[in-house]
């Protein structure tokens, strides 16, 4: 199982334990992922680290000075 970090700007858009759908975006040389409907976004990942599934479970949500992760 793979763990990925997403940034969410506001609290309460998803909760721990929620099943979510993840969409893939393509950039030159990398991929990024969005929890639909556009509630959180991942960092960019190199081509060899492409995600293999479209569904995931939110394991935990942590808050810091930059937002919710």
CB 55 within 8 A of CB 20: yes
Q: What is the pTM of this model?
A: 0.89
CB 54 within 8 A of CB 22: yes
pLDDT above 90 for 13? yes
- Give the tokens for residue 51: 């995600």
Q: Which phi and psi angles does 21 have, rounded to 5°?
A: -100, 135
Please tell me the distance from the alpha carbon of residue 31 to that of residue 25, in angstroms, as a whole number: 6
pLDDT in tens, 21-62: 999 999 999 999 999 999 999 999 999 999 999 999 999 999
Closest C-alpha among 12, 21, 9, 11 to residue 57: 21
């Amino acid at each position: 199982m793979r763990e990925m970090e997403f940034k969410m700007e506001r609290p309460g858009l998803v909760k721990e334990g929620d099943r979510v759908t993840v969409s893939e975006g393509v950039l030159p040389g990398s991929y990024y992922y969005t929890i639909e409907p556009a509630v959180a976004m991942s960092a960019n990942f190199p081509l060899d680290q492409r995600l293999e599934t479209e569904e995931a479970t939110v394991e935990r949500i942590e808050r810091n000075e930059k937002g919710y992760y």
